[in-house]
Amino acid sequence: MKPERRRSLIQEIVQKDKYLSRIMSHLIDVLRVYMFIVDQDGKILWESDHKRYGATFLLDHILGCHIQSEHTTSMKHFHRRGHYFECGNHLFVHCFSIPIFYDTADPIGYIIIGPVVLNKRLSNEEYRKIADQHGIPAQQFIDTVSEIKVVSNLMMNSILDLIKEITEDNIKNFVKTLPSMEGMMPSPGSASGSASAISAQELLEHVLAVALQMTNAECGSIMLIDSKRKELEVRAIKGVDLQDLPQMKVKLGEGLAGLVAQEKNPILISEDQTDERIAHLLKRPEIKKSFIMPLCVKDQLLGVLNLHSKRSKNVIKKKSIEFLPYLANLLSPILN
């Protein structure tokens, strides 16, 4: 695909796929990390109307960040980091870019995510020294950095994976509906306009995969609530044989998942579990560690996330599960 065609394709996608802009805006609000879309040359094609979570850091050149001008992002500052690209700078903030591909070896555009602070925020005094060294207004710099999310390397990888999976599937489905792409790709059957929206099942599977990656757990499931029947049903599963599941449906209050759903409180379980309240429910000795969490949005129960490890108890640590509650917010619009 020629550069001109790649450029026009990503422009057409951004202009016509209203679901993409909605899901991008929702991801910004849920993850509390700013993001926008550019073409292959860095020209900004989509950005949120609300400049939050450190967005002003990219635009305000007084703060010494030279990644973005009013309408363009300089891609030369980004360097490959696995499947993605990273831009770090002397101010200890980072941005990442996800290449957007469509039937071509070269990207048709990029999703820019950031800025973020990796692993640990510096003290105000340290930021003040950095500001003085670079001739930046110290208090403005400190105030702006305080808006930026702090993430671990593991969490950042998971955020990038989640955004990539959700947006990539949506874009591929949407492109099939464009008249300009007729005859340019194999497409079984006809595609309807509803193809632009990622399905609930796909989203469940993406969210489960990200949760497993974040915690290093090797198996798990997502159960959704049937409010009328007051029961949970397994809707996504990974790394677990169906024969190992005691049952695909459980009533509220029954078993570990039912208890977590009823009380809307998570449970972290290890080999040396001493909680007598749940001791009688621990019927799988091969499981060394588990984390069972209610998926709730504003006190509304959507379901339960189950994560398990048979390998080691040195996984699913408290620091690795701090991001997991955000996943329920991602599921909320499509499940409701």
pTM: 0.66
Pairing of strands 150-151, 109-118: parallel
> Are the CB atoms for 100 and 34 separated by under 8 Å?
no
Q: pLDDT tens-digit profile of 53-90?
A: 888 777 665 555 555 555 666 777 888 888 899 988 77
φ, ψ of residue 193 in degrees (nearest 5): -65, -25
Tokens of 241: 């044989």
Q: pLDDT tens-digit profile of 89-140?
A: 778 889 999 998 877 678 888 999 989 999 889 999 999 999 899 888 899 8
C-alpha to C-alpha distances, 67 to 41, 120, 210, 269, nearest whole angstrom = 13, 22, 29, 44
C-alpha to C-alpha distances, 200 to 100, 236, 264, nearest whole angstrom = 22, 10, 22
CATH topology of domain 203-335: Beta-Lactamase (3.30.450)
φ, ψ of residue 116 in degrees (nearest 5): -135, 160
The domain ranges of the chain are: 3-181, 203-335
Tokens of 187: 């497409």
pLDDT at 334 over 50: yes
Burial class (CB in 10 A: 0-12, 13-18, 19+), 141: buried
